[in-house]
Amino acid sequence: MISVEEAQQRIASAFSPIDTETIDLAHMAGRVLAEDLTAHTDQPPFPISAMDGYAVRAYDGGEPRRVIGTAPAGHPFKGKLGSGEAVRIFTGGVIPQGADAIVIQEEVDGEGDMIHFNAGACTSDYIRAAGLDFKAGDVLAANGKRVTARDLALLAAGDITYAKVRRRPRVAIASIGDELSRPGEPRQPGGIAASSGYGLSAMIQAWGGAPCDFGILPDTAQEIATVADADAELVVTLGGVSVGDHDLVQKSLGTRDFTLDFWKVAMRPGKPLIFGRLGTTPLLGMPGNPVSTLICAILFLRPAIDAMLGTDKQTCSLPQRFKCGCRTLTARLKRELPANDSRQSYLRARLIQEGGEVWVEPFEVQDSSMLSILAQSDALVVRAPGAPAAKPGDPTEIIPLDGY
């Protein structure tokens, strides 16, 4: 068996950034950029007022002014401001030519077209200079960035309409087992509903991939071998990777130019993991157990997708760590844990905010068949191989499950 870290590195290193496509701004959310996006304009494109009030010349001090026009947002004053003059201006209005200060409306008294104010109320503080936010040519979003809602607003402000992005990598999912059928379908004696693929598809989509359902394959070498025909950048099989008489993935794919990279990882759950190539197409063979499948996806499938999208080299300035796509934090244990054996363990757990700190409480029952516990969990507690017994209050590494 190899370590989790070695398995993650070997999988991620097998992938490189995928080809690109050009899409419009309206469809850019969640996509990964394949180029730097630079602003096409200054923001704001001209000096504007930050407040409702009057645009004036500061040089004239506090003398009365004659109001000669207005400048609402989107309707600039067309003339030039002279000595002793003011323009009624509103938030977002363009600063008139000749003006260099704003007197906010609360500081003004007026009769007819004449206004009065103290010299101290005349200030440039309420003028937003052209390019205050960004200037034309500034990089607003860098190559390799996953576009967020915040980025979309920024890119729109920069007058950007199209961008080159990484194509969504196709990930074919094949569930294997005579006992499986889709939810709602008639079930044979001893049969169960196939569940792993639904959670896996949602994860792949959230991470930027395009899941492709290859269907449920029976436990025959001929049927299992058909996964070699999948049109995908990565093939994922669910089940059939252990050592039982009906665990046929390796045997079946041997007839279709399958090359094994590694088999078995020193972890719990998820030990019987396979990684190799079907010709030139990588294949990730996951355990059929649904909990094992989803935890293995977080640890091994996401790094593959990140590598194909070019996001695997990104860093984060927050006080947290990234390990092959997994965000890890530290929390305090709510209850004691026994010493760990030679396999890295991932314990399903709840997070609790208490006394200004984050505490984590692993579920007492960790049977890998229990999806209900995974659904109730907020995090996975990471227990290193050979970790000593831990007591309540000890800091421990966790992988938050928000977004999974």
Where are the domains positioned within the chain? 4-15+168-309, 20-41+137-166, 48-128, 321-400
Residue type, 114: M
C-alpha–C-alpha distance, residues 234 and 151, integer Å: 29
Give me the mean pLDDT over the 141-159 stretch. Answer: 97
Give me the mean pLDDT over the 335-354 stretch. Answer: 96
- pLDDT tens digits for range 237-272: 999 876 565 457 888 888 788 999 999 999 999 999
Number of H helices, E strands in the chain: 8, 27
- pLDDT tens digits for range 44-58: 999 999 999 999 999
Predicted confidence at residue 315, as pLDDT, reads 43
- Beta-carbon count within 10 A of 381 CB: 23
163 with 47: CB under 8 angstroms?
Answer: no
pTM, full prediction: 0.88
328 with 396: CB under 8 angstroms?
Answer: no
Q: Which CATH class is domain 321-400?
A: mainly beta
C-alpha–C-alpha distance, residues 277 and 257, integer Å: 8
279: left (phi over 0), alpha (psi -120 to 50) or beta: left
24 phi/psi in degrees, rounded to 5: -90, 170
89 with 141: CB under 8 angstroms?
Answer: no
List alpha helices for 235-392, DSSP H. Answer: 249-253, 290-296, 302-309, 371-376
Mean pLDDT across the chain, nearest whole number? 92
Q: Which residue has the tokens 């004036």?
A: 56
- The CATH code of domain 20-41+137-166 reads 3.90.105.10
Residue 327 confidence class, pLDDT cut points 50, 70, 90: confident
Residue 321 confidence class, pLDDT cut points 50, 70, 90: very low
CA distances from 35 to 163, 241, 310 (A): 8, 40, 11
Residue type, 276: G
351 phi/psi in degrees, rounded to 5: -100, 140
46 with 94: CB under 8 angstroms?
Answer: yes
Q: Single out the residue of 52, 44, 55 nearest to residue 100, CA to CA.
A: 55
* pLDDT value at 189 more than 70: yes
- pLDDT tens digits for range 10-49: 999 999 999 999 999 999 999 999 999 999 999 999 999 9
Q: Single out the residue of 53, 47, 48 nearest to residue 117, CA to CA.
A: 53
Residue 313 confidence class, pLDDT cut points 50, 70, 90: low
Fold of the CATH domain 4-15+168-309: Molybdenum Cofactor Biosythetic Enzyme; Chain A (3.40.980)
- The CATH code of domain 48-128 reads 2.170.190.11
52 with 70: CB under 8 angstroms?
Answer: no
C-alpha–C-alpha distance, residues 133 and 55, integer Å: 22
DSSP summary character for residue 59:
G
Predicted confidence at residue 404, as pLDDT, reads 72
Percent of the chain scoring above 70 in pLDDT: 95
